[in-house]
Amino acid sequence: MKRRQSVLYRMGRRFLQHRLAVGSLVTLLLLALLSIAAPLAESLLGLDAEATNLFKRSQPPSLDHPLGTDEIGRDLMARLLQGGRVSLAVAIAAAMASAVIGTAIGLIAGYYGGRFDAILMRFTDGVISLPLLPLLIVLAAIDLSKLGLPDTVTQSEDISLYRIILIISMVGWTTVARLVRAETLSLKQREFVRAAIAQGATGGRIMRVHILPNAVSPIIVATTLSVGNIILFESVLSFLGLGIQPPVASWGNMLTNAQELIWSAPQLAVWPGLLIFVTVIAFNFLGDGLQDALDPRAID
């Protein structure tokens, strides 16, 4: 127990030495808290992300609207907070779903080997070889009503959100799968795994109890780094009109609505673009910091 606490302490110390990662973590926590508290902030400040006022379109910052208003008179700050909830939720949910899929495939391929490994890894190579952005555009453009889904599902305001999560999860698991497979191949040769096999433990138990806990570090790092890429993919799809659909706000579709007003009201594009940039950079720095902190070879 003491040794485990010592290892965790040294991991934490190494992470705290990575100033960019610590600053990124603070930034992301602040963005997440502000986004989660969006309804409370609207109530305290007397704002409404959905209230329109065509007489106050594209207004500059004022006491009533701290960041101004958008193209149909809605408060820009309230929309940014609402968009942050959607963009961050999509990115984190898709990253976690991709991690689960990739972990399962990597564990099975690495532990059982042979035909399982060959089939799963060739399938992974096939997914990697696909042109990702065009594939996402094609999948996002599919008319759900032609798939036999009920109207209550296809006409739901949140269906575009769930569809983006599903689409990205279907193609975003390959990095985690490769990392977990490599870690599993290494751990499978360790003494404690061989001892468990000798004692008659099943393959499922060995993977769940002995291999997976020791392969958590690369999973965490890969998942963290993927969140930034997923935010970019969601923003691109929303910008093209194939992602999160209005009236649900996301930073991507806010950029779409601002593209015709870039010269007359640049703040409509600057703020969501800046938040996307800061969030993606912060997740990348956080991933770098976690990679340094969780690397067993770097822990002295």
**Local confidence band at 297 (pLDDT 50, 70, 90 cut-offs):** low
What per-residue confidence (pLDDT) applies to 212? 86
**Local confidence band at 29 (pLDDT 50, 70, 90 cut-offs):** very high
Contacts 24+ apart (CB under 8 A), 131-135: 132/171, 132/233, 133/233, 133/236, 135/171
Q: What is the pLDDT of residues 166-220, one digit of tens each?
A: 888 888 899 899 999 998 988 888 888 888 888 888 888 888 888 888 888 888 8
What per-residue confidence (pLDDT) applies to 93? 92
What per-residue confidence (pLDDT) applies to 298? 56
d(CA 280, CA 3): 35
Give the domains, in start order, of the chain with CATH numbers: 33-45+73-298 (1.10.3720.10)
**Local confidence band at 153 (pLDDT 50, 70, 90 cut-offs):** low
